[in-house]
Chain A
């Protein structure tokens, strides 16, 4: 069965520090990959997506992610975190072969300390 793992439930970083959120997937197909962010009391906002091509993708709010097929990973990064980045982040994976339905990871809660 398809699965998505976000190993870190919580991460705390200092404002201005770099950030990496991990995402690993298990899919028997060519995946397409997403990162979403959920601010408190809000819905999910798409940060970035990968379908094909360049494995380093840029998103909104200064985020980027790198697809590594050999490691089945799609980690999210940001060079300098701002206090407003505190939120919950979800990795999601889909595939044409699975009817384009998305499978979500359990989420990583990011706390930013000043």
Chain B
């Protein structure tokens, strides 16, 4: 089984709808991240969380919110989706306690807003 899972894998929604993307991990990592990927722009950080009670804005947080329900779960919400939020979304985890900061990624969610 994959260590970092994302649901759904693909989603098409309409402008103005609320949508939630979910991420779960079995790696036991304390840190979790949400990124969006757009062609030619690489990955940009939306939000990150260093533990259950810690939520931080990233580079492009406007229009998004997150919830860290447990150490293993980190959800990303679009309160009112707009077409320019069409992108590939990735969840990632890392374990700062190990002294290593590499991040491990889920398979991604492809979101289309029409």
Q: Chain A interface (Cβ within 8 Å of chain B)?
A: 4, 6, 9, 32, 34, 36, 42-46, 49, 51, 90, 92, 94, 100-102, 104-107
Contacts and interface: CB of A to CB of B under 8 A. Distances in A.
20 contacts: A6-B42, A34-B102, A42-B108, A43-B90, A43-B105, A43-B106, A44-B90, A45-B105, A46-B103, A49-B100, A100-B94, A100-B101, A101-B45, A101-B48, A102-B45, A102-B103, A104-B35, A104-B44, A106-B40, A106-B42
Contacts of B44: 104
Contacts of A100: 31, 94, 96, 101
Contacts of B48: 101
B105 A105 contact: no
A90 B43 contact: yes
Interface of B: 4, 31, 35, 40-45, 48, 58, 90, 92, 94, 96, 100-108
Given A43-B90, A49-B100, 12 more contacts: A4-B42, A9-B40, A36-B105, A42-B108, A43-B107, A49-B102, A90-B43, A100-B94, A101-B45, A101-B58, A104-B44, A106-B40
A100 B44 CA distance: 14
A102 B104 CA distance: 12
B101 A105 contact: no
B2 to A, nearest CB: 9
A100 B103 CA distance: 10
